[in-house]
Amino acid sequence: MLSKLQCFFHNFGYPIMKKKLIKTNSLLQIVILSFFAALIFVISCKKDVEIPNSRYTNSISFSIPQGWPAPFYNFANNNLTPSGFVLGRKLFYDTRLSKDNTISCGTCHQSYAAFANADHTLSHGINEQLGNRNTPPIFNLNWHTSFMWDGGINHIEVQPLAPIANPVEMGETINGVLAKLQTDANYPKMFQEAFGSSEINSERMLKALTQFMGAIVSSNAKYDKYMRKEAGGEMTSSELSGLAVFEAKCAACHKAPLFTDYSFRNVGLTPTGLNDSGRAHITRNAADVYAFKVPTLRNLAYTAPYMHDGRFSTLDKVFDQMESGIYNYPTLDTLIKNGIKLSAQERNDLKAFLNTLNDETLVKDKRFQEQL
């Protein structure tokens, strides 16, 4: 609202209004003036309100960044197009995907937080309900071999069904969502553009959401430029020392270039009342108790708090945990059994290196943001 007002005053309104207001005290004239002011307001700002959907999406495409492995999902059966992406984006930011029309995917997966949820330890769904896990970021999903902290979902195209149906997240049924979309003035046209007919069904909805999510690739951090030997990729000596520490102590699980090997591991976090059994929840295998998917370490500057339950608000707390907080479970990962010791210097260098994994272009990319 503020920007609309500023837009009005800035464009035409303010000088006219100021001059006339000084001249008149009559209530009627003020009413008439307000009417014209409102009219000018609407006309002058119309172009800001109606951003065409294609404005930031002319260049949507998916390619494998140089030096990266082949992705697990590559749009082979879901052709990525600007209209499919734009439809997926509209769905992603549409609160009608939730029962009471208050929560969209983007409510929890915020673009400015690299599509994690800034500041929330656990997710907040409809009716202020708390979930039991921290919202993971959304980028480079096409390389994921499974989804969720416990890997309970194995295909990106069915992933959105989970939050929609989850009673503490969106609490809605697919049929309920489809019925709401069918009453919308724009969706039939957008489905037509994306899929060749105006039919709105769950398969198309999921494919469009996947086009949006799968197109979100983060490969422009300083580290990436360093690897590609591009301008802007010159590392400082502290960052390079941090890279060496990282390779020695972290890379076995947080494997470059995605900074995860997608395995499930118990890294010895102290038990809490949530008593989340992690991977074992899916496999029912005792060896998987308290194992969680190794998360990426890209974009940590935007995705705090950390861990599957968001228990740590800072990287220092994560390091403290590794050094001296390892809880000795029978299923504790052998790589972390004795903790990971870091000198003050190593800690500083490691932080400097991890900062080179932050991709500012991702969080600023207008194509991925809600189009208001």
Q: Which residues bind ligand HEC (CB under 6 A)?
A: 97, 103, 105, 107-109, 123-125, 131, 133, 135-136, 138, 141, 144, 147-149, 159-160, 163-164, 169-170, 209, 213, 249-250, 252-254, 265, 267, 269, 292, 294-295, 297, 300, 303, 306-308, 315, 318, 322, 333, 335-336, 340, 350
- Nearer to ligand HEC by Cβ, of 37 and 216: the residue is 216
- Nearer to ligand HEC by Cβ, of 42 and 286: the residue is 286
Q: Which residues contact 2 (CB under 8 A, 6 or more apart)?
A: none
Q: How far apart are CA 86 and CA 99, in angstroms?
A: 23
Rounded to a whole number of angstroms, the minimum distance from the CB of residue 367 to ligand HEC is 17
Rounded to a whole number of angstroms, the minimum distance from the CB of residue 233 to ligand HEC is 21
Q: How far apart are CA 185 and CA 187, in angstroms?
A: 6
Q: How far apart are CA 167 and CA 131, in angstroms?
A: 9
Rounded to a whole number of angstroms, the minimum distance from the CB of residue 114 to ligand HEC is 10
Rounded to a whole number of angstroms, the minimum distance from the CB of residue 60 to ligand HEC is 17
Rounded to a whole number of angstroms, the minimum distance from the CB of residue 79 to ligand HEC is 19
Rounded to a whole number of angstroms, the minimum distance from the CB of residue 83 to ligand HEC is 18
- Nearer to ligand HEC by Cβ, of 17 and 152: the residue is 152
Gyration radius of the chain's alpha carbons: 24
Q: How far apart are CA 92 and CA 73, in angstroms?
A: 19
Identify the CA nearest to 265 among candidates 354, 255, 256, 257.
Answer: 255
Q: How far apart are CA 262 and CA 184, in angstroms?
A: 39
CB 113, CB 302: distance < 8 Å: yes
- Nearer to ligand HEC by Cβ, of 60 and 265: the residue is 265
Residue 357 falls in which region: left (phi positive, over 0), alpha (psi -120 to 50) or beta: alpha
- Nearer to ligand HEC by Cβ, of 221 and 269: the residue is 269
Rounded to a whole number of angstroms, the minimum distance from the CB of residue 318 to ligand HEC is 5
Q: Which tokens hold the place of 183? A: 């009453």
Rounded to a whole number of angstroms, the minimum distance from the CB of residue 335 to ligand HEC is 4
- Nearer to ligand HEC by Cβ, of 158 and 286: the residue is 158
Identify the CA nearest to 306 among candidates 326, 314, 332.
Answer: 314
| Alpha-carbon distance values, 363 to 54, 152, 245 (Å) | 19, 27, 27
CB 198, CB 344: distance < 8 Å: no
Q: For residue 63, count other CB atoms closer than 10 A to its CB.
A: 9
Identify the CA nearest to 209 among candidates 86, 95, 109, 98.
Answer: 86
- Nearer to ligand HEC by Cβ, of 37 and 208: the residue is 208
Identify the CA nearest to 60 among candidates 238, 260, 208, 254.
Answer: 208
CB 219, CB 63: distance < 8 Å: no
- Nearer to ligand HEC by Cβ, of 169 and 359: the residue is 169
- Nearer to ligand HEC by Cβ, of 66 and 270: the residue is 270
Rounded to a whole number of angstroms, the minimum distance from the CB of residue 15 to ligand HEC is 45
